[in-house]
Amino acid sequence: MTIASKSTWADRINGFVRKVPTWPLYILYLLPVPWLLYLAQTGGLGREPIKALEHELGEIALQLLIFGLCITPLRRYLGINLLKFRRMFGLLAFTYVTLHLLVWLVLDVGILSQIWADILKRPYITIGMVSFILLVPLALTSNSWSVRKLGPSWRRLHQLAYVAAILGAVHYVMLSKVWAVEPLAYLAVVLGLLALRLPKRRQKQTA
């Protein structure tokens, strides 16, 4: 009974998702960029808009990585198929990570020698940079041509997203002066979503 009602409920969502085009969602999800820049210029981000902008962009990036990680568990456990949005979430996450990095490079630090010193000497910045670098090949291969060309190794390559998400969340946890709730919650969600993948995969291997 419950299974039947669940499947019709999931089917209805899947039917709706099939009709939704992805391109307006790209535009919708990029709207926060001009909005945040406007707020930063007009005092809406507080008295220190640079750090605020940097943090907002970083947080959105982490959220988008998490949305990407939700796709597989949603399909596996609830039968909801949002696969068509996964590339979009990945590319948007990469866009926001890049903007986050640019704000840090140009507006926040802006001094080349200090940027290098920070990347090499500050573990949370090193971790953040590694996370960004891991996402570069993923963004470059997030197109149908690469999927065809790389075949099975495309899947393996894109499992780097797991590592990038963990590092991104750790980066957030480490920059806090105390054990703050929000960054720890992000890390817990990332680890939880990855944990959801583990048992099924082991079953597959033994089967």
Partner 1 sequence: GVALAGAGTAARAEEALEPNAWEDITQYNNFYEFGTGKSDPATYASALTTEPWSVTIDGLVDRPGDYDFKDIMAEMTVEERIYRFRCVEAWSMVIPWNGFELADLLAMAGVQAQAKYVRFETLYRPEEMRGQSSRFIDWPYVEGLRLDEALHPLTIMATGIYGRTIPNQNGAPIRLVVPWKYGFKSIKSIVKITLTDEEPVNTWQALQPSEYGFYANVNPNVDHPRWSQATERKIGGGLFSPRIPTLMFNGYEEEVASLYEGMDLTRFY
Which residues of this protein are in contact with partner 1, per CB under 8 A? 40-41, 46-51, 53, 107, 109-111, 114, 117-118, 121-124, 174-180
Alpha helices in the chain (DSSP H): 2-19, 23-30, 32-42, 49-78, 86-102, 112-121, 123-140, 144-150, 152-158, 160-174, 181-195, 198-206
Shorter beta-carbon distance to partner 1: residue 46 or 192: 46
Distance in Å, CB of 40 to partner 1, minimum: 5
Our CB check for partner 1 shows the closer of 1 and 112 to be: 112
Q: Between the CA of residue 31 and those of 26, 60, 100, what are the distances in Å?
A: 9, 12, 15
CA atoms of 150 and 116, how far apart (whole Å): 34
Q: How far is the CB of 37 from partner 1 (least distance, A)?
A: 8
Name the residue among 101, 56, 51, 93 with its Cα closest to residue 71. 93
Least distance in angstroms from the C-beta of 122 to partner 1: 6
Minimum gap (Å) between residue 38 Cβ and partner 1: 11
Closer by beta carbon to partner 1, 145 or else 179: 179
Return the number of the residue (124 or 162) whose C-beta is nearest partner 1.
124
CB 95 within 8 A of CB 30: yes
